[in-house]
Amino acid sequence: MPSLAAAKLPFAPALRLRLGTRGGVARTKSNTGLIVNVVNEKPSHRAGAALARKALFLVLLTLLTQIGGIAFLATIGVSYVAKISGRLARLAVFLSLYAAATVAAHQVAPLFGRIPLPCFSGNSPLKLQSPLYCVLNRNYVTGDLLRVADALSGHMAGAFPGTVTLALDANFPFLDGFPLLPHLSHSDGRKLDIAFYYRGKAALNGQTRSPIGYFAFEQASAGAPLPCDGRNDLLTFRWNLRFLQPLFADWHLDEERTKAAVQWLSSDGRKMGVEKIFIEPHLAKRLAVDNGIVRFQGCRAARHDDHIHFQVAE
């Protein structure tokens, strides 16, 4: 049985696995056996690590939800003033402040030109694909875009009774120029992604192959146009996520309805202000929807063979 005495041996282990820190001491395990070292960690190091963790949370929450970072800062302030130190208690404070900020954003954002897509849409043929988009404040659009999305879903439900059009990522509630990652262009309220329509044995409604509507990619057939083939960009939002593909539901793209949606956006939608639609070239060819406003987004932007992106003019 190894012991603390082993740490005093003259040969130091080449590799050590950090086991954790308790009360300012670090415990490590070597690759040659269970050798435990006890090292004093200075309080200033711990304070620095805690500050770095807080900064990381702040950045992640801001990037993911926009107003979550502000709720996090408010939580630090409230916890300090009210002397709240327990983790669970601070989490409860954060969740309360975040929920209050989310409700407040629904009321305030329209004053700045962004309207939330409804989180509870009842019998409307336009729904958010997941409550997550509401929870993360990623469901804001301009009035013009909301009118187009409503009209598109109405058209689809009329042409294909029972059809529900599912909205995915839209925009954050505030600040033009603040991107909704990984969609760099979703920064001004004028952009919306909608899910593809799918079929199992029959047409499916309100369901997508992937749990969040994204990343279940349609694969190109042989000879289809593949402008990004052979590229290996390091800095890119074009993620292929091959390991995820077998996990998604084995449903097929409903070509008829997906094509009808793109055609409506290119005709009636265009008259209402639609200026661009993004889908991958191989899919535009397969659906025969290649036209002036169906565009390719480029090789560093997210793939568009798992959803349709459209945007309205200013």
Binding site for Zn ion (CB under 5 A): 183, 193, 309
Nearest distance from residue 306's CB to Zn ion, in Å?
Answer: 11
- Our CB check for Zn ion shows the closer of 21 and 185 to be 185
Measured from each CB, the residue nearest to Zn ion is 309
Nearest distance from residue 150's CB to Zn ion, in Å?
Answer: 18
- Our CB check for Zn ion shows the closer of 270 and 309 to be 309
Give the separation between CA 199 and CA 298, rounded to whole angstroms.
29
- Our CB check for Zn ion shows the closer of 41 and 314 to be 314
Nearest distance from residue 282's CB to Zn ion, in Å?
Answer: 18
Nearest distance from residue 35's CB to Zn ion, in Å?
Answer: 53
Bond before 43 cis per omega within 30 degrees: no
- Our CB check for Zn ion shows the closer of 75 and 282 to be 282
Nearest distance from residue 214's CB to Zn ion, in Å?
Answer: 10
- Our CB check for Zn ion shows the closer of 58 and 63 to be 63
- Our CB check for Zn ion shows the closer of 183 and 270 to be 183
Nearest distance from residue 169's CB to Zn ion, in Å?
Answer: 6
